[in-house]
Amino acid sequence: MTKYKVYHFDEKIERKGTASVKWDEVDRLYHAEGLLPMWVADMDFRVPDEVTDALKGRVDHGIYGYSARSESYLSAVQKWMRERHSWEIDKDWLCHSPGVVTALNLIVDGFTKPGDKVLIQPPVYPPFRKSVHNQGRELVTSALVYDNGKYTMNFTDLEQKMSDPSVKMMILCSPHNPVGRVWTKDELSRVAELSHKHHVLVISDEIHGDLVFNGKEHLPFANLSEEAANHSIICTAPSKTFNLAGLQISNIIIPNPSLRRIYLSQLQRFSLNEPNALGAAAAEAAYREGGDWLSQCLDYIKVNADYVADFLRNSIPELTMVPLEGTYLGWIDCRKLCLDKLQLQNLMLKKAKIAFNQGYTFGNEGEGFVRINLACPHSLIEQAMRQLHRAIQSLKN
């Protein structure tokens, strides 16, 4: 019988002085001092013990030459997708990238040409927009609709935008960062139908696909149908799931061999073929043995999310957190404060002394919102709520 290990996510681990972007760079990046960092999607939790053990074993070997993804690594990813998402994938479909953002830039560059348009759905993760602009392509937006506390896709607008023959690609965020939606099968099937009808390649960023709550189920876009698989590229990574972003490894899943050849040529062109040896060791261990850790981590994050939602409802009714279905990032509606984006930013930085991600950085549709990172010890969540409450009270006074 396997012994069940209990993880303690309440532990506060000192991260200052470790070259942590989240903790060591926050004051410089936000041009303020003494900030509580509740921003970038980086957990403050220690990784599964099995990951640490795998890294120690690899370090003890003492040689870190050019590395490849082993058969064992590839089968671990297959197993994870099969057991967590009911998706059978071939090893040939699995392509490397140091990270999903890197892959997005490679894909926009390799699958579109100057003059082509790429569609996104704001408010959305800022690197989507940057990956389009970085390659000199034209950005097209189909904004999500926020009504009665829930975000949905505007399919009428989406089809209108896709019907433009210059729109060659859509970057889908699934689950959606920052609004926390886990798209349903009907919603994703509608996207697949429209993209096929209008010959739009779907790039589905599913980096948060393992992080779902409240009985929701993440559905890999390419697993909807053979048609969807042939017209999509799926971007995944262990970086959000297990907090391995610093080890720079992700898995870009491309069932269509023609699309895969183009992507692999991009990797070759920019000399990005080879994985980080430690990243591969950590990812394999996480996918093979990190399931219990993840289950406990999700339970802990849900407690944090519920606490924030309840605190706002009871103590700061002017603020509301959008119900969290996926990701560990809370999306807080501050519009009842009637502040413009810079006033809201100054309130959070100068009065609350908290570094949230400001909503306007996700597109104009995010103005009046802030994003909070919920993947941290509960004591930090409580501290953030106390500081936020004091700031709002000072605003009223």
Tell me: do 175 and 302 sit in the same domain.
Answer: no
pLDDT > 70 in the chain, percent: 99
- Mean pLDDT across the stretch 28-53? 97
**Chain segment 195-245, per-residue pLDDT in tens:** 999 999 999 999 999 999 989 999 999 999 999 999 999 999 999 999 999
Residues with Cβ < 8 Å from 27, sequence gap 6 or more? 33, 34, 35
Instruction: Answer whether 394's CB lies under 8 Å from 351's CB.
Output: yes
Tell me: do 283 and 341 sit in the same domain.
Answer: no
Distance in Å from the first CA to the final CA of the chain: 60
Query: Would residue 7 count as lying in a domain?
Result: no
User: Residue 295: is it exposed, middle or buried by C-beta count within 10 angstroms (0-12/13-18/19+)?
Assistant: exposed
Tell me: do 233 and 335 sit in the same domain.
Answer: no
Query: Would residue 1 count as lying in a domain?
Result: no
User: At which of 272, 289, 306 does a domain end?
Assistant: 289
**Chain segment 133-169, per-residue pLDDT in tens:** 999 999 999 999 999 999 999 999 999 999 999 999 9
Tell me: do 361 and 285 sit in the same domain.
Answer: no
pLDDT at 214: 85
Instruction: Answer whether 203's CB lies under 8 Å from 100's CB.
Output: no
Q: Which two tokens stand for residue 154?
A: 């505007």
pLDDT at 389: 98
- Please determine, for residue 261, whether its predicted confidence score (pLDDT) is greater than 70: yes
User: At which of 229, 263, 289 does a domain end?
Assistant: 289
Instruction: Answer whether 251's CB lies under 8 Å from 236's CB.
Output: yes
Query: Would residue 53 count as lying in a domain?
Result: no
Question: Taking all residues of the chain, what is their mean pLDDT, rounded to a whole number?
Answer: 97
Query: Would residue 174 count as lying in a domain?
Result: yes
Cis amide prior to 123 (ω within 30 degrees): yes
Domain residues for the domain of 226 are 63-289
Query: Would residue 284 count as lying in a domain?
Result: yes
Query: Would residue 5 count as lying in a domain?
Result: no
Q: How far is 176 from 327, CA to CA, in rounded Å? A: 8
Angle at 215 between CA 210 and CA 218, to 5 degrees: 35
Instruction: Answer whether 219's CB lies under 8 Å from 188's CB.
Output: yes
- Please determine, for residue 1, whether its predicted confidence score (pLDDT) is greater than 60: no
pLDDT at 4: 72
Tell me: do 206 and 334 sit in the same domain.
Answer: no
Tell me: do 208 and 295 sit in the same domain.
Answer: no
Tell me: do 121 and 226 sit in the same domain.
Answer: yes
Tell me: do 78 and 217 sit in the same domain.
Answer: yes
List 236's β-bridge partners, or say none: 251
pLDDT at 117: 98
Scanning 153-256, the segments in alpha helix (DSSP H) are: 155-162, 185-197, 226-230, 239-242
Measuring CA to CA, which residue among 202, 187, 106, 103 is closest to residue 153? Answer: 187
pLDDT at 3: 58
Tell me: do 241 and 378 sit in the same domain.
Answer: no
Query: Would residue 57 count as lying in a domain?
Result: no
Taken in order 374, 378, 380, 383, the sign of the CA dihedral is positive
Domain of residue 215, CATH code: 3.40.640.10
**What is the band of 396 on the pLDDT scale with cuts at 50, 70, 90?**
confident
User: At which of 289, 308, 330 does a domain end?
Assistant: 289
pLDDT at 397: 81
Q: How far is 139 from 137, CA to CA, in rounded Å? A: 7
Tell me: do 121 and 213 sit in the same domain.
Answer: yes
Query: Would residue 381 count as lying in a domain?
Result: yes
Backbone angles phi, psi at 131, to 5 degrees: -65, -30
Domain of residue 313, CATH code: 3.90.1150.10
Tell me: do 274 and 339 sit in the same domain.
Answer: no
Tell me: do 137 and 275 sit in the same domain.
Answer: yes
pLDDT at 150: 96
Domain count, the chain: 2
**Chain segment 75-92, per-residue pLDDT in tens:** 999 999 999 999 999 999
**Chain segment 81-132, per-residue pLDDT in tens:** 999 999 999 999 999 999 999 999 999 999 999 999 999 999 999 999 999 9
